[in-house]
Structure formats: C-alpha cells, structure tokens
Amino acid sequence: MFFAFACKKNADSIIPASDPTTMALAFAPHSNVSTSYDDTYFYVESDGLAQHQMMVGIYTWIDQFPIPQAFKNGESKWSIPLQPAYADDPIGIEGHFQKGAIAIAVNGIPIFNPINASGLISKQIGELDAFGGHAGRADDYHYHAAPLHLQTSDNLPIRFRWICYLWIFRT
C-alpha cells in the first residue's frame, strides 16, 4: 500500500504524492492508533502497545516488559512525507539502520531491522514472540520481523489485507 524504498533516482523519475485519506484507512481498524495530516506530512500516533498477546514464546529472555510509549502528542509521532522523493545516494541497512525503528506497522508498533542491539539476529536466538516482536531495553515493544499476522486480520478491509506495514523512515 504505502511502501517507500530507498532507490536511486534518474533524471525523469517522479514519485506520485501519497493520498493521506487512503493512508488513514490502513490504520483505522486499530483503536490505539490515531492519524492526522497537513500539506506536507501524514502523522501516526500510538501508545506502542500491540493489541495481540505480547512476549509469549520467547525462549531467550532479555528481562524486559512492554510498557506504553510516547509515540503521541507530537514528541515522537511518526511524520511520513506525503511527497516522497528518491534518494540521491541510497544507503543500505548495515551501519545505518541497525538501531531504532525503520518502519511502523499499521497497528502502531515500530518495526526494527532483524538485528538486535548486540548485533545478533533476534529471531535466530529466540528473542522474539509469536508475532515477531519483543520489548527492548527501553521496555518498548517492537517487531524485528515483518508483522505478517496483520495480513489476515479480520478487522482490515479486504483491500488492505495484502498490505500490513509501511516501510518508511521517521523524519
């Protein structure tokens, strides 16, 4: 639905502007998420807590528990440009996006890359729950794997079932 990839531009490349009313529909089924927009950005706010069971199935425990996060009230809300642009020089994940969120799921949960803060792949060492997430060192619940469970949610309109997350970067 709303994917933004880091791609190198060419002379005649134009990315169409995103429709914020359509974007809002993807988040609408989730009561812990609110959206708004202005002429430049689409904003997403959340308490950072998933509406599914969290932390079940983890066998390498990191002694953290999910607590509400401040993805609200302007402080840390997501700001998604309505007019995306190609990067002059795309950069890869290694060395650039290894800490912190790289995307947000339609249920308001941040998505990190697969590597944890120690440089290990979280899923391979048993740090993730049944939904591909866990609470990090700041007790923030986030995914380290694509939240594919959102594709089959009965709450999503049929036209959004094949799209469950936004690969975008917070500005």
Q: pTM of the full predicted structure?
A: 0.77
Compute the distance between CA of residue 108 and CA of residue 27 in angstroms, rounded to an integer.
Answer: 8
Instruction: Decide if 144 contacts 102 (C-beta within 8 A).
Output: no
Compute the distance between CA of residue 152 and CA of residue 170 in angstroms, rounded to an integer.
Answer: 26
Q: Three-state SS string across 55-69, please?
A: CCCCCCCCCCCCCCC
SS3 at position 14:
coil
pLDDT > 90 in the chain, percent: 22
pLDDT single digits (tens) 108-156: 999 988 888 788 889 999 999 999 999 988 888 999 988 888 876 545 5
| Residue 150 backbone phi and psi in degrees, to 5 | -75, -20
pLDDT single digits (tens) 22-54: 889 888 888 889 999 999 999 999 988 999 999
